[in-house]
Amino acid sequence: MRALPLAQLRERTSEKWREYPADVLPLFVAETDFPLAPAITHALDRAVRSGDTGYVASRTPLAEAFAGFAQRRYGWSPEPARMRSTADVSMGIVEILRRVAAPGDRVIVNPPVYPPFFELVEEAGAVVERVPLRDTGDEWELDLVGIRAALEDGARAVLLCNPHNPTGTVHSAASLAALADLAVEYGAAVVSDEIHAPLAQPGAAYTPFLAVSDAARQVGYAIVSASKAFNLAGLKCALMVTAAEDTSRVVRGLPVEVEWRTGQFGMLAAVAAFSEESDAWLDGLLVTLDENRRLLADLLAEHLPGARYRMPDAGYLAWIDLTGLGWGANPSKRILREAKVALHFGPAFGAEGAGHVRLNFGTSPEIITEAITRIAALRAHDPHDA
């Protein structure tokens, strides 16, 4: 799969292409540079031509479409009757947290983690409890000892990122099952953001949280969307998925407006994305992302040998440690100012992000190569490299 030409991408009006001037290569926000899946283009074109631009219906094929997708891609069979849609994953997280955590309750997050997690917990009226991922030197993993301690001390929920953003970690089934057992033991809920799940590489052994065990089904809520894999963030559609009567009752009890915030175009596009017709497109995207993550590793080894990078198991976001270059706690600022490459600021992901950057490689090999070449040129101006 080839990305669109740079000149065509610069005609886009989304955040990625409007935040910075035209001399900046934007590799920060999680948008991709590929053409839409043909089934999505067809569905949206048909809707525009027929004027199908009203309110989202109370009954749509979305839940059934996702159930079919989950069965084909993950071997998981969620029940459509236990799903409700909403505008996006963040909204689903907030609405569920409001009902599983009382004001002032603590919610566990695992930094470095998607920056809005900190704000979403607060928006729900809860308090962030930080239990960072464990860095084993080879991979990142959930700190189950730390999570147990936080739950024992009164934390009421875990906001999980599965697969994890920004590290691209696919949490093992064993660690997810252990997390579920802890949640049952301490009467806590697990709210799992699984927006990057369709982008898990073959062989990465991605497991949906609700599929891992009976305990997970008892305590878990999953929020899923086609938006990251199929580049549909602006169309506003996500699904809140449950697998037990108690958790389903919570989601069924949400105000009708939570569901009505689903975008009509988002629903139509998601149904097309989750259809079998889009499977080949998604498979092609995964091949391209695999090539790009390996290209990035080669470029960093050649041009920035002081950088530390582990290829992600899922997604198109690279978590890169630039501490060894001596560019400070937030190297993205210098890179933007001097190299004209926009990366996501590492410290935004938590204190563990100091010295790090997040780079979006969901683009062309040419843009990735140009970005790393520009960044590497900064070393020529460093006193210790002179």
- Return the number of other C-beta atoms located less than 10 Å from residue 266's C-beta: 26
Q: Tell whether pTM > 0.85.
A: yes
pLDDT digits (tens, 9 = 90+) for 178-201: 999 999 999 999 999 999 999 999
* Alpha carbons within 13 A on the beta-carbon side of 297: 10
Residue 379: its pLDDT value, please? 83
CATH fold label, 39-276: Aspartate Aminotransferase; domain 2 (3.40.640)
Superfamily (CATH) of domain 6-36+279-380 = Aspartate Aminotransferase, domain 1 (3.90.1150.10)
Residue 382: its pLDDT value, please? 78
Rounded CA separation 215/207 (Å): 14
- Return the number of other C-beta atoms located less than 10 Å from residue 46's C-beta: 12
Rounded CA separation 368/348 (Å): 22
For 207-232, give one letter per residue: b (16+ CB within 10 A) or e: bbbbbbbebbbbbbbbbbbbbbbbbb
Q: What is the mean pLDDT of residues 59-68?
A: 98
- Whether the pLDDT of residue 168 is over 80: the answer is yes
- ∠ Cα 274 86 267 (to 5°): 35
- Whether the pLDDT of residue 386 is over 50: the answer is no
- Whether the pLDDT of residue 1 is over 90: the answer is yes
- Whether the pLDDT of residue 341 is over 80: the answer is yes
DSSP β-ladder status, 341-342 and 25-26: parallel
Rounded CA separation 132/143 (Å): 7
- ∠ Cα 174 175 181 (to 5°): 90
Write down the domain spans for the chain: 6-36+279-380, 39-276
pLDDT band for position 380 (cuts 50, 70, 90): confident
Torsion sign, CA atoms 80, 86, 87, 89: negative
Please state, rounded to an integer, the average pLDDT across all residues of the chain: 97
pLDDT band for position 383 (cuts 50, 70, 90): low
Amino acid at 77: S
